[in-house]
Amino acid sequence: MEQQTELQTKQPAAVLMIQGTASDVGKSLVTAAIGRILVQDGYRTAPFKSQNMALNSYVTLDGKEIGRAQGMQAEAFGITATTDMNPILLKPSGEMSAQIVVHGVPHAALSAREYREKFLPEAKETVMSALGRLRDSYDAVLMEGAGSPAEINLKARDIVNMNLAGWADAPVLLVADIDRGGVFAFLVGTLELLEPQERARVKGFIINKFRGDLSLLQPGLDWLEARTGIPVLGVLPFLPQLRIEAEDSVVLEGTSGRLQPGSTRELDIAVIRYPRISNFTDFDPLEDEPDTVVRYVTSALELGTPDAIILPGTKNTAADLVFLRQQGFPEAIAHALRQGTLQLAGICGGYQMLGQKLLDPDAVESPEPGESSGLGYLPLSTAFLQHKTTVRVNGVLADGHPLQLSGISTTAAAHTAVSGYEIHMGTTTNLEPDAVRSLFRLERADGQEQLEGWGSPDGKIWGTYLHGLFHNDELRRSWLDGMRKAKGLTPLAATFSSAALREQEFDRLAASVRENLDMEAVYTIMGLSVKEE
């Protein structure tokens, strides 16, 4: 990444807002791509989303929690993510309730009605103060909307779409996804539901995820421009196998729960997808490995006998443990282990499930205080407390850690470096220290070392609070190669760098958007000019 230029003016940063006709039309990636281009062209650029609803979150360097999309965008822009980039994060905890996170810290647990009536009237100051600080620090700020700006029932108290665009006096580009069909109806219908002053802010359309012959689409584009008077600034092609993490679990819809016949991938990893799955981007690097297939399974009938079973993170451990039992997963997991499954691992909430007890004295995760039983694979007890741990950590594999001693991962060196982040409400206690072995020796922000994660002495069952574990290249490949050797397969050793692949994909995305989007028009809309090299 080239060094970004210093601010050359004290004027507030230029702003541009990327809104969409619906959720999951590609706003986050379009924002990332345009910002990457601005940075490549010499503008210091920051992302901003006033309010985000997602279970996939990102921990900043100072231990605060924001939406994962804004963390990803900050990385694409070559800057350090801060809570100003996503001052309000909503983490759904039920059908009609969510944890409200303000500037990275849990603020309250509110119902949808309470949020609209009690919180939103006071949110404007939080949002605009954060945006103001970004505009004082950067050359350009790319603002991302949420869902659709045409939700009539939400517009009066909107803080993330057209009201915000008005407060910031931001021009708007409207993104639609042609892959889902009805793209012209989505665009025209959205405009029809906007107020005249809102419609006037829309300066261009972007049609996303196009496949096929653009000449066949041209008559529709001509009609759209004539009908609305708004130019189509670009038709962005669908990019296959784009390795940039998604934010919402909607992207898991349609992923197969069964290993496809004839698959040439030699390792089968099943991730159990419960209703409140969170931070599933933990497993993206596994999907990128050439010998590994990752399946998200929602039914015990889909589980089979994979090489590894992973219980991922969850926003509500107790509720998703009930789901596991209702779906028959405990019996299916036990059967798989007897039939030859090599590894059972738990990350964060999944780690808590592997223990013996779940204590909720303050009704943090349950309607009322109580105690429930875990799956009983590890001698651990977890207490859910009001305090939430959000921290980035670095460390090494602990001496004699179970992944090394098991024979499953003998290539893992005792001092393999590991980094990741923790986001959890529970505190886990080891009830039988001599019965399990620690996984990691971590250094905390205060400089103190701490053992983290526990596993069975044979290394077959283990759990940890560390998200991002498989983004550690050496550890990931060692773990996979251990399973390969257990199956009589030759280890592959190093295959790719997760960080390098990420940068490569950011550049691939930006190059595609630069080629297919009228960036000169985008610069004009923002009041910027292309800088001379």
Give the integer Cα–Cα distance in Å for 47 and 161: 15
DSSP per-residue letters across 38-92: HHHTT--EEEE-SEEE-S-EEE-TTS-EEEHHHHHHHHHTTS---GGGSSEEEEE
Q: Do the Cβ atoms of 317 and 352 come closer than 8 Å?
A: yes
Q: Is 187 left (phi over 0), alpha (psi -120 to 50) or beta?
A: alpha
Give the integer Cα–Cα distance in Å for 174 and 27: 9
Which residues are paired to 20 by β-bridges?
A: 175
Give the integer Cα–Cα distance in Å for 162 and 168: 10
Beta-strand pair 308-311/267-272: parallel
- Angstrom distances, CA of residue 488 to CA of 20, 343, 461, 482, 491: 50, 16, 21, 10, 9
Residue located via tokens 């008559």: 219
Helix (H, G, I), strand (E, B) or coil at 219: helix
Catalytic residue list contains 467: yes
Give the integer Cα–Cα distance in Å for 124 and 18: 19
Select which of 348, 401, 424, 471 is catalytic.
348
Amino acid found at 104: G
Quickly count: other Cβ atoms within 10 Å of residue 82's Cβ. Answer: 23
Select which of 103, 401, 424, 467 is catalytic.
467
274, 295, 291: which is closest to 283 by C-alpha?
295
Report residue 43 as tokens.
């503008």
Q: Do the Cβ atoms of 438 and 401 come closer than 8 Å?
A: yes
Angle, vertex CA 111, rays to CA 108 and CA 113, nearest 5 = 120
Helices (H) and strands (E) in the chain, counts: 16, 25
Report residue 442 as tokens.
């971590």
Helix (H, G, I), strand (E, B) or coil at 403: helix
> What secondary structure letter does DSSP report for 115?
I
Report residue 514 as tokens.
């630069």
Which residues are paired to 426 by β-bridges?
A: 384
279, 272, 220: which is closest to 245 by C-alpha?
279
Question: Which residues fall within 8 angstroms of residue 303, CB to CB, at 6 or more apart?
Answer: 270, 272, 297, 309, 329, 332, 333, 336
Report residue 387 as tokens.
């305090």
Terminal alpha carbon distance of the chain: 15
Report residue 438 as tokens.
């620690």
Report residue 321 as tokens.
């443990």
Catalytic annotation, residues? 348, 467
